[in-house]
Structure 1
């Protein structure tokens, strides 16, 4: 997937100002992007693509559409603000092979949106979602937890709204404090406190279960571990962790394992799970395995390629 950063003119209080759209479209490799029988899409992310001038949108879409027409990519996906969607824009995006539109909703709670300076309303999110789906695009809706005014119930309601709006995929980001933002100023003034990592993980765990129950694909948990965040150059405070998803999945599997062990009398056990889930079942830094051992279990984990995502079997070892 190619990530091409678009220009940014929105009023988010949790992002640093982004630069203007660079000439990245000229750098896309001309070789085939097929890998393991899957063609990757071209992605315009990092801002609100439909917020840049229409002639510039068309220029970049034309360049990307060359790869769509020749079958070298699976399509084009982009992110934008809910209030930057209209029928004229959607006709243009359809013309040039855009397949997926992700809306940066962040929350569907009016108070959270107002306190966060988002500049759009819950109605904007719902209306944009309806239009995106009506034009046949795959709909993604991004959410952010721990914004000013947010709480557990409001985040869970946002997830439920995202499901009801017909999203096919979502991204869950925890709000963090970055240098040079309004949120940093509020933090310095004692007017905002970010979520702890522990709370962010707990909320995200519950959000994931809501989305999965409704077959909404969670395509990202946590912020991309850029160099500036990893080394702390731009990070002031907040629940950033480069292995955020792994920690969340560890907590999900902790609950699954504990529920399965209820009524088990043996303390020498073998836990079988899906091959793809085994590292999550064992846990980040083997947290679940260590916890079981601390409770007196002698435990062995095994992967089974025939198991479904959360299928588990426990037997005497």
Structure 2
């Protein structure tokens, strides 16, 4: 059974500045920071219907910079969660925060409340990109915070964004390599979506910020996915959470409700191209693990059509349970 979160969103509170891309109301749907009483009710209702493995379930405080909120409010929320950790035997608490809001004192406090995982919103490891998007921290602070978190034995999660203002495919790949070098336990990759009321919207409408085309974004994120997975770093999220509100209110950007599948499908296409195909075959049969058939075929048979054009021969795909994820084998006719 997979890991699961019981998520509580804390929009904006704790953020000392406004990043170029941020509109937490649209992203989370939350209007205000919840009170401890509201969090108590949310957790009670969510856990009453939760069917996940308790030992793989965490209460997650997402949205804002949790370690930068007023200490009394932070303590009240963490205290509210304690009862549910005990009653339901949950794994612990997961939080997200800014790299410059991590100190030894804060980590000691979090340990006392059974926080098990800390996700850092790094977004980029290019200082010029961080500055242009008003992140208010540096790549050096990301490295320092990550090292502190690992030293204190928390699970380390890192979050990066793709296609930010001022970024390039090369700088995003370089950022991913630097983040991988920090040995995170998990990674989230978020392609940039332009939301209303943000600085990115103003730049986009002024013609100062061209949006990365979807095809390029899929190609880039497929490369990042392999970069992390090849180093045994799970990418637990790829693409902004599928949301009717985001789809309705977004101005432009890289958004698709099945973005991860598009990227994994692209990985399969690139893998297929690298497979040795005997010239004498008039029809090519590719084998993949049965659970991966749809990704190999691609949405609207996109991979099949592309490969048929590439090879000039008909292509079909069948399942082979002996193969691992991303492994492709040419079947003998």
User: Which band: TM-score by shorter chain?
Assistant: over 0.9
Asked if 2 retains the 8 angstrom alpha-carbon contact of 1:205 and 1:249, the reply is: yes
Alpha-carbon distance change, 258 to 66 in structure 1, aligned in 2, over 3 angstroms: same
Which whole-Å CA distance do the structure 2 matches of 1:141 and 1:3 have between them? 17
Q: Say whether residues 1:140 and 2:157 are aligned partners.
A: yes
Structure 2 unaligned blocks of 5 or more: 26-30
Q: Say whether residues 1:313 and 2:329 are aligned partners.
A: yes
1:277 to 281, 284, 292: 292
SS of aligned partner of 1:310: coil
4+ aligned runs moved over 6 Å, structure 1: none
Cα deviation for residue 26 of structure 1 reads 2.1
Q: Say whether residues 1:239 and 2:243 are aligned partners.
A: no
Asked if 1 retains the 8 angstrom alpha-carbon contact of 2:11 and 2:24, the reply is: no
Asked if 1 retains the 8 angstrom alpha-carbon contact of 2:39 and 2:80, the reply is: no
Report the RMSD for the aligned CA atoms in angstroms.
Answer: 2.0
Counterpart for residue 185 of structure 1: 202
Counterpart for residue 123 of structure 1: 140
Q: Say whether residues 1:212 and 2:246 are aligned partners.
A: no
Asked if 2 retains the 8 angstrom alpha-carbon contact of 1:270 and 1:302, the reply is: yes
Counterpart for residue 112 of structure 2: 95
Asked if 1 retains the 8 angstrom alpha-carbon contact of 2:39 and 2:77, the reply is: no
Alpha-carbon distance change, 197 to 306 in structure 1, aligned in 2, over 3 angstroms: same
Which whole-Å CA distance do the structure 1 matches of 2:275 and 2:113 have between them? 50
**TM-superposition CA deviations, 1:44-97 (whole Å, max 9, x none):** 112211121111111111222222234432222111111111112111211111
SS of aligned partner of 1:41: strand
Which whole-Å CA distance do the structure 1 matches of 2:207 and 2:307 have between them? 40
Asked if 1 retains the 8 angstrom alpha-carbon contact of 2:24 and 2:63, the reply is: no
Cα deviation for residue 103 of structure 1 reads 0.4
- Superposition TM-score, scaled by structure 1 size: 0.92
Which whole-Å CA distance do the structure 1 matches of 2:180 and 2:24 have between them? 30
The answer to which structure has the higher helix fraction is 2
SS of aligned partner of 2:67: helix
Counterpart for residue 54 of structure 1: 71
Counterpart for residue 226 of structure 1: 243
Q: Say whether residues 1:3 and 2:19 are aligned partners.
A: no
Which whole-Å CA distance do the structure 1 matches of 2:228 and 2:162 have between them? 15
- Superposition TM-score, scaled by structure 2 size: 0.88
Cα deviation for residue 261 of structure 1 reads 4.3
Counterpart for residue 28 of structure 2: none
SS of aligned partner of 2:200: helix
1:86 to 86, 95, 103: 103
Asked if 2 retains the 8 angstrom alpha-carbon contact of 1:250 and 1:287, the reply is: no
**TM-superposition CA deviations, 1:211-240 (whole Å, max 9, x none):** 11211111111111211222x3x2111121
2:23 to 16, 19, 31: 16
Which whole-Å CA distance do the structure 2 matches of 1:100 and 1:264 have between them? 51
Cα deviation for residue 36 of structure 1 reads 6.2
SS of aligned partner of 2:251: strand
Alpha-carbon distance change, 127 to 276 in structure 1, aligned in 2, over 3 angstroms: same
SS of aligned partner of 1:11: coil
Asked if 2 retains the 8 angstrom alpha-carbon contact of 1:147 and 1:194, the reply is: no
Cα deviation for residue 269 of structure 1 reads 3.4
Structure 1 unaligned blocks of 5 or more: none
**TM-superposition CA deviations, 1:235-285 (whole Å, max 9, x none):** 111121111111111111001112114445313333221233222111122
